[in-house]
Structure 1
Amino acid sequence: MVTAYALQVLRGIRSLPADLAAVVVFVGVTNVTVLAPIIRDTPVRVIVGLPFVLFIPGYAFIAALFPEAGESPAQSGEAETEQGLRDRVDDRGIDGIERVALSFGLSIAVVPLIGLVLNFTPWGIRLVPILLSISGFVLIATAVAAIRRWELPADERFEVPYRSWGDTVREELFAPDDRADAALNVLLVLSVVAAVSSVGYAVAVPQQGEQFSELYLLTEDDDGELVADGYPTEFTRGESRELIVGVTNQEHRPTNYTLLVQTHRVQIADNSTTITESESLRRFDLSLAHNETWHRPHAVAPTMEGQNLRLTYLLYKGEPPARTTPETAYRENHLWINVTR
């Protein structure tokens, strides 16, 4: 049954005009590329996703608005006044160059509007809702475009002139009028190849951004959400309070970390802080891949008594040194707490 349905879909796509069938196929390829477990982590996702966002929605919309074939401005021969331009568009539709230009412009207008609508829905602006919404818009516009073209006489329907383009390219490349045209054609081909290669290299081998790691403390609010607020500051000796510590690896490589939790009694004088007593509470050893985040709820139970003690989290790459202080740590975070009997 699934095979029969797939064959029916393929027959339906085959009956579409070539450009609209290509749009439908491109939508399917984009969905597979973005959602497939292995392919979605490769540069292919960016290469396919850019035209899907910047060109395809506008092209499908333009195809639905203007199903008829058009003439170029040179063919129409009318004066480019405002009234003349309006009459020319009404009489001849729009040509291929105008379709391409309007496709980019309308895509840039339509996609943000779809995101704005999603922002007011329970799904929000997330990858899957945006992908499905744009795909649905493109498929609906493509269906309308196909129906409107089929309603026109065959000689008035818009068709992408693939054959004439191919004949023109072959003639210009292999049968130029003179040597100057041949040299220009070769230079044009080399320029296009160089531009495509540069873009492909930039997508396949992106420059690494800044390398860093994040260390932060969180608590859980009444709704069960993790927030950077409401930290405990009053402790009773021997009784524990819960905190959540988080580490995110943005080093562009797998990294091993050591996280130490300590209580410090400090003396502040002349804008300098000196640790007079230190107490070790917890140690965490973790290994994170690039862009991986680690959260750990843990109980904190200081035994050192006093006012304005510093509950300190020290993050090190690899093993920590013999002297562990905020100055020797790669990342440091702390809370000021009071501990009573």
Structure 2
Amino acid sequence: MSHRNKIPTDIQVVIALVLLTCIFITIPTLSNTPIRTALGLPMVLFLPGYALIAALFPARDDLDGIERLALSFGLSIAVVPLIGLALNYTPWGIRLFPILISLSAFTIIMCTIAVFRRNSLPEDDELSVPFYSMYISAKEEITKKPENKLDRVLTILLVISILASIVTLAYVVVTPKEGEKFTEFYILGPEGMADGYPTGLQPGQSGSVIIGVVNHEYADTEYSIELLLENNSQLIDQDLHHINLQHNQTWEKEVTFTPASIGEDMKLQFLLYKDNNMTESYRDLHLWIDVREI
């Protein structure tokens, strides 16, 4: 292969990481593994900026290594939100697969431009990242016999510290953080919207609402629900006890109630109890209803 058709090693690595990220995100059996997160972070925070810098500054002397590294992070943080903003005005919107396709296409296009620009330069001026030389140098630095025992101990401690830092960072990234524990509790009208509530009824007439519960407690939780009118009368025959939900699981049910008394501005309470604690409600909602003769 001639020099002008050569794909630099760093560009090969960037393209390989982009393709690996796409594979681990799109294939269901792989998308639930920690590797997806480990690949996704560079895809968002580093690779687009590195590819853009490679396209803009193809020569060895354009930027030094530290500047190239810092600008790669900085431009990635700038480019990714701009791509998201552009997607917001398209029919696809800001969703996982449109973002993945857009970032992948942008990075690969920038890599292609970088390859053409580098291949147009004299070989001595072309940027190259000497991965193998860096590996050999690091290996020799670690394995060579130090001048004294103290240097050897310090070298071993340095290697252990670096490995521990990498493992700690990987653990923090891939381990899901436990957020605030709470439960969503809501009522909707019969049409499933937050309006159209049955607030005006005749004596003996029934009304219906949709009650919803979403568990965000990070544990399996048992719920019970009661409907009370003016704090003292149970209105339903349906069993709304022993509702067992896993974390992030949603429960919805249409509930029909029949007021047993006549009055205006009566408080219809929806009480949610948690883990068989029926002495005090965990969440509560209410409607003001009128029951009167027409």
Same fold (TM over 0.5): yes
Residue 292 of structure 2 aligns with an amino acid whose one-letter code is T
Alignment-derived partner of residue 237 in structure 1: 203
CA contact (8 A) 1:61 1:138 kept: yes
Change (3 A) 1:139 1:294: farther
CA contact (8 A) 2:222 2:274 kept: yes
d(CA) in 1 for partners of 2:220 and 2:55? 49
Alignment-derived partner of residue 8 in structure 1: none
Change (3 A) 1:238 1:151: farther
d(CA) in 1 for partners of 2:90 and 2:128? 38
Output the aligned Cα RMSD: 2.6
Secondary structure, counterpart of 2:91 in structure 1: coil
Q: Does 1:250 align with 2:216?
A: yes
Identical amino acids, percent of aligned pairs:
43
Q: Does 1:31 align with 2:1?
A: no
CA contact (8 A) 1:119 1:125 kept: yes
Alignment-derived partner of residue 270 in structure 1: none
Q: Does 1:333 align with 2:290?
A: no
Alignment-derived partner of residue 228 in structure 2: 263
Q: Does 1:17 align with 2:8?
A: yes
Secondary structure, counterpart of 2:239 in structure 1: strand
Q: Kindly report structure 1 stretches of 4+ aligned residues shifted beyond 6 Å.
A: none
CA contact (8 A) 1:279 1:304 kept: no
Deviations 1:30-79 (A, max 9, x none): 122223324333433322211111101101111111222x2xxxxxxxxx
Secondary structure, counterpart of 2:219 in structure 1: coil
Deviations 1:316-340 (A, max 9, x none): 335574xxxxx52222222121112
Q: Which moved more, 1:57-66 or 1:124-133?
A: 124-133
CA contact (8 A) 1:308 1:338 kept: yes
> TM-score of the superposition, structure 1-length normalised?
0.75
CA contact (8 A) 1:255 1:287 kept: yes
Secondary structure, counterpart of 1:259 in structure 2: strand
Alignment-derived partner of residue 292 in structure 1: 249
Secondary structure, counterpart of 2:238 in structure 1: strand
d(CA) in 2 for partners of 1:239 and 1:131? 53
Greater strand share, structure number: 1
d(CA) in 1 for partners of 2:120 and 2:243? 65
Residue-pair matches, total = 287
Unaligned runs of 5+ residues in structure 2 are none
> TM-score of the superposition, structure 2-length normalised?
0.85
Unaligned runs of 5+ residues in structure 1 are 1-13, 71-91, 266-274, 322-326
